[in-house]
Amino acid sequence: MFNIKVTKTLNSQLTNIDFSNLPFGKTFSDHIFIADFEDGQWTDLRIEPFGPISMHPASSVLHYGQAIFEGMKAYRQNNGELVLFRADEHARRFNESAQRLCMAEVPEKLFIQAVNQLVAIDSGWVPQTEGSSLYIRPFMLATDEFIGVRPSTKYKFIIFTGPVGPYYAKPVTLITSNEYVRAVKGGVGEAKAAGNYAASLLPMKQATEAGYDQVMWLDAKEHKYVQEVGTMNLFFVIGDTVVTPATDGAILKGITRKSFLDMLTAKGYKTEERPVDVQELVDAHKAGQLKEVFGAGTAAVVSHVASVTHKGYLMDLPPVENRLVGNWLKAEINDIRLGLKEDIFGWLSPINQKEVAKSF
Ligand SMILES: *Cc1c(COP(=O)(O)O)cnc(C)c1O
C-alpha cells in the first residue's frame, strides 16, 4: 500500500446536489487526489478537499501541452456494493499515453489504490439511480517551470470524480471530413492526449454549423478508412456481421470497444476488426445491409447514430427500436455493472470501503 495522506473536507457539498438532475461533467465530488513527481519519484500523495490548483505561469503543460487523461466509472450495484469497471485497463492505458507523451509513468498499483481510496472517501457521491454512475477523471500534467521544449522533469498526477446521470442522448448525425483529420499513424491519436481534443474543435464547430452533431474521422493519408467519432469508437452492423475499424496506431484503443467485442463473441455474433472503407458503408447502405451504426465509449456507453453523410450521400439508418446489437450491448453491459448478470469476464473490482477506511 502507498501512504496517501487524507485531509477531509469540513464543508461537504453533498447535500446541495440534485441527483435527479446531473448534467455531464459539471458536478464535482468533495475530494481530489494529487501526487507530485519530482526527482524521479511520486511524492506527497494526498487526498484533500476539492478545489483549485495553483500553477507557475511557465509550467510546461501550459506552453507545450504535455497532458494526458483517462475517463472511467464506478457503479453502485443493486446490493449497495461499489465497483470499478476495468480499472486495470485504464491504469495500463494511462501509462501508454504517458510513454507516448514522454511523461512519468504511474505505478499501476498506485493508480488503482488512489482511485479506490478517493471513491471510498466520496462513496456518498456514487449515485443510486439506475443508469447513473460516478465518473472518474485521472489526469497528468507537466509542471517544470521552464520555457524550453524538452520533457518535463516534474509532473502532477490528479484524480477527481463527479456523479453523472443517465445519458439520454438523441441519436447523432455524423459527417465525414475531407479537409481535416483527427490523427495520423505515428502521431498521438492512440494516446488520450489533451491536444487531440483541441485539434478536433474547429472541424467539430464547422460540422455543427452545417447541421451535423459530430465528425466521423477518416484516415489521414487516403481519407478513405473510418477511424472513430468524438470520444467514441465506431461499430457497424453490416448484414449479420458486427464490424469495427482495426486499431492501427491512429485510433484510440477504447476499453468499451474491447469489452463489446468480447461480449459479442461470447454471444455468438460474427465480429470483424479490420479497415473499414467508407465506400463499403455507402455500398452496404444502398443494398439495404447497413443495419446499425453506433459509437462506444465510457461516457455514453452506446451512442446510436441516426445518419452518416459522406460526400453529399446521406446514409440514414433504421429506427433505434430496431437496433438489436447496440441495444443488447447497452443493456447487457449495464446488467453486468449492476451485478444483475454474472461478471463472467472479471471486469469488476469491488471498492472495499472498510479496508480503505482503516488506512486513514
Ligand atoms: C476515450 C476515447 C474513446 C473511448 O474509450 P473508452 O475506453 O471506451 O472510454 C474513444 N475515442 C477517443 C478519441 C477517446 O478519447
Quick: pLDDT tens for 15-69: 999 999 898 899 999 999 999 999 999 999 999 999 999 999 999 999 999 999 9
**For the chain, what is the largest distance between any 2 Cα atoms, rounded to a whole number of angstroms?**
63
Euclidean distance between CA atoms 138 and 191, whole angstroms: 14
- Per-residue pLDDT of 76-92, as tens digits, reads 999 999 999 999 999 99
Q: What is the pLDDT of residue 353?
A: 72
**How far is the C-alpha of 268 from the C-alpha of 158, rounded, in Å?**
41
Q: For a pLDDT cut of 90, what percent of the chain falls above it?
A: 92
CA of 193 to the centre of ligand 1 (A): 11
Task: Tell me which H or E stretch contains 202.
Answer: helix 194-209
Q: Does the pLDDT of residue 309 top 70, yes or no?
A: yes
pLDDT in tens, 216-225: 999 999 999 9
**Which strand (E) or helix (H) includes residue 85?**
strand 82-85
Q: Mean pLDDT across the stretch 138-153?
A: 97
Confidence of residue 271 (pLDDT cuts 50, 70, 90): very high
- What gap in Å lies between CA 300 and CA 156, rounded to an integer? 28
Tell me the per-residue pLDDT of 105-126, one tens digit each, with 9 for 90 and over: 999 999 999 999 999 999 999 9
Q: Is the pLDDT of residue 349 over 90?
A: yes
Q: pLDDT band at 356, cuts 50/70/90?
A: low
Render pLDDT for 170-198 as a digit per residue (tens, 0 to 9). 899 999 999 999 999 999 999 999 999 99
Q: What is the pLDDT of residues 275-303, one digit of tens each?
A: 999 999 999 999 999 999 999 999 999 99
Instruction: Categorize the per-residue pLDDT at 104 as very low, low, confident or very high, splitting at 50, 70 and 90.
Output: very high
- Helix, strand, coil content of the chain in percent (nearest 5): 30, 30, 40
Ligand 1 centroid, distance to 138 Cα (angstroms): 14
What kind and span of H or E run contains 274? strand 270-274
Closest atom of ligand 1 to CA, residue 296: 8
Per-residue pLDDT averaged across 229-251, rounded?
A: 97
**Cα separation of 152 and 263, whole Å?**
41
Distance CA 60, CA 55 (A): 10
Phi, psi of 21 (to 5 degrees): -140, 90
Closest-lying ligand 1 atom to the alpha carbon of residue 256: 8
Please count the other Cβ atoms lying within 10 Å of the Cβ belonging to residue 153: 15
- Across 148-169, average pLDDT: 93
Whole-number mean pLDDT of the chain? 95
Instruction: Decide if pLDDT at 129 tops 90.
Output: no
- Write the CB contacts of 44 (distance below 8 Å, at least 6 apart in sequence): 5, 34, 35, 36
Q: Which atom of ligand 1 is nearest to the CA of 297?
A: 8
The torsion region of residue 314 among left (phi > 0), alpha (psi -120 to 50) and beta comes to: beta
Please say whether the beta carbons of 136 and 71 come within 8 A.
yes
Pocket of ligand 1 (CB under 6 A): 71, 192, 228, 231-233, 252, 254-257, 297-298
- Residue 164: pLDDT band (50, 70, 90) is very high
Q: Which of 192, 252, 329, 337 to mutate to test the pocket of ligand 1 (most atoms within 8 A of CB)?
A: 252
Residues near 148 by Cβ (< 8 Å), separated by ≥ 6? none
Decide: 228 and 288 in contact? Cβ < 8 Å: no
In this prediction, residues 3-25 reach a mean pLDDT of 94
pLDDT at 137 over 80: yes
**Cα 303–159–193 angle (5° rounding)?**
60
Cell digits of residue 245: 475499424
- Residue with cell string 455524423: 174
CA of 317 to the centre of ligand 1 (A): 23
For ligand 1, atom 14, the nearest C-alpha belongs to 231
Q: What is the pLDDT of residue 202?
A: 97
Say whether pLDDT at 358 is over 80: no
* For the chain, percent of residues with pLDDT exceeding 70: 98
Q: For residue 9, which phi and psi values (nearest 5 degrees)?
A: -70, 145
